[in-house]
């Protein structure tokens, strides 16, 4: 009889521990989250109405570049491709962060750039995103 009581007590204890462990695990909370995979076309912007503003006291250097984009953008960076060796290849890029007005009108200030000579500029590169 004592053996049955011990076995019954041990079984009851194990069941109680299992229920408590389940109850503790069931109390965990996981927030809702999202995961997924998708695709969409990425198309480029069309740059138009490019205007270079020359320095008032030294017109051989650029102060700013302005242009329009065909679609709205929230972030725009531009670079002037510089050919200081005059060999027809870009030697360096003068990158600046541009300001956007109305989503499509862009102005890029080059007054802080180290190389902005009109003679050296051979390319304008624009990177924009929505």
**Tens digits of residue pLDDT in 28-72:** 677 888 887 878 777 899 999 999 999 999 999 999 999 999 999
In a domain, 52, yes or no: yes
In a domain, 4, yes or no: no
- In sequence order, what E strands does the chain have? 47-54, 62-69, 75-82, 92-97, 99-101, 105-109, 121-129
CB atoms within 10 A of CB 104: 17
In a domain, 73, yes or no: yes
In a domain, 16, yes or no: no
Total structural domains within the chain: 1
Domain residues for the domain of 107 are 47-129
What 89-95 contacts at long range (C-beta under 8 Å, 24+ apart), as own/partner pairs, is 90/122, 90/123, 93/125
pTM exceeds 0.85? no
């Amino acid at each position: 009889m004592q053996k049955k009581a011990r076995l019954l007590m041990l079984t009851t204890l194990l069941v109680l521990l299992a229920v408590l462990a389940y109850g503790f695990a069931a109390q965990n909370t996981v927030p809702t989250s999202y995961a997924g995979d998708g695709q969409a076309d990425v198309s480029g912007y069309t740059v138009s109405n490019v205007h270079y503003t020359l320095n008032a006291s030294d017109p051989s250097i650029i102060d700013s570049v302005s242009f329009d984009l065909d679609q709205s953008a929230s972030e725009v960076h531009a670079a002037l491709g510089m050919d200081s060796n005059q060999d027809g290849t870009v030697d360096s890029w003068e990158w600046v962060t541009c300001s956007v007005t109305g989503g499509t009108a862009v102005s890029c200030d080059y007054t802080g750039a180290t190389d902005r000579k009109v003679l050296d500029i051979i390319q304008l590169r624009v990177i924009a995103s929505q």
